[in-house]
Chain A
Amino acid sequence: DTGVSQDPRHKITKRGQNVTFRCDPISEHNRLYWYRQTLGQGPEFLTYFQNEAQLEKSRLLSDRFSAERPKGSFSTLEIQRTEQGDSAMYLCASSLEYGEQFFGPGTRLTVL
């Protein structure tokens, strides 16, 4: 399968714990996006990378969130000191520059 993959698919954690999600984009895609989707809402943009450079971050991305894309391949999204409000689906998408975004299956985070 050469689509976008995300790991894990589901994560349950206790408030205050740190979590890390991984996204593997389509191999030739130089752009990678992270979105967050809460229940009953459409996805909202968090941040994006062009190759290894993080070029834009949403105001939704508080100081507890950090994202990396070392070597311009896979990306990780870490949330420190999780809060119940962080419970959401975290979606990753990749694209060529000016191309259509292809989404992964998402990571569903539940913070207890």
Chain B
Amino acid sequence: AQKITQTQPGMFVQEKEAVTLDCTYDTSDPSYGLFWYKQPSSGEMIFLIYQGSYDQQNATEGRYSLNFQKARKSANLVISASQLGDSAMYFCAMKEIQGAQKLVFGQGTRLTINP
């Protein structure tokens, strides 16, 4: 079974600083996808970034980058130059490549950006 672990319940960061949100995963599947989603207080899950298990390069999307270390089974999200609007819950998720392709989520990290 797939499992996602996020060990930081909350993070507090000063505006404009970079922040790293931790995510470790466990799976026996050779092929999988790793995602990060942002969930503001409104409740909608907003897709941020994706990393495939066979991708050689770390994924980047604007201010978001994913630090993928396959041997350590970690997929940390790095947000550069944080902004007040980045304050939200952040979820790491894994998707099986075959079958239902359902997402398995971690418990999330609440990020607060201080002015």
Bound Cα distance A13, B62 (Å): 42
Q: Chain B 52-65, CB within 8 Å of chain A: the 1/0 string?
A: 00000000000000
Bound Cα distance A89, B45 (Å): 11
Q: How many residues of B contact A (CB 8 A)?
A: 24
One of A22-30, A64-72, A79-87, A98-106 at the interface? A98-106
Q: Which residues of B contact A91 (CB under 8 A)?
A: 43, 45
B84 at the interface (CB under 8 A from A): no
Q: How many residues of A contact B (CB 8 A)?
A: 25
Shortest beta-carbon distance, B52 to chain A, in Å? Answer: 11
Q: Are A56 and B100 in contact, CB atoms less than 8 angstroms apart?
A: yes
Checking B44, B102, B106 against A45 with a beta-carbon cut-off of 8 angstroms, the contacting residue is B102
Bound Cα distance A93, B95 (Å): 14
Q: Which residues of A contact B100 (CB under 8 A)?
A: 45, 48, 55-56
Shortest beta-carbon distance, A102 to chain B, in Å? Answer: 7
Q: Are B102 and A33 in contact, CB atoms less than 8 angstroms apart?
A: yes
Shortest beta-carbon distance, A76 to chain B, in Å? Answer: 19
19 A-B pairs with CB atoms under 8 Å apart are A33-B103, A35-B103, A40-B107, A42-B4, A42-B93, A42-B105, A43-B103, A45-B100, A45-B102, A56-B100, A91-B43, A93-B45, A100-B47, A100-B50, A101-B103, A102-B47, A103-B46, A104-B44, A106-B44
State the A residues within 8 Å of B (CB).
Answer: 31, 33, 35, 40-45, 48, 55-56, 89, 91, 93, 95, 98, 100-106, 108
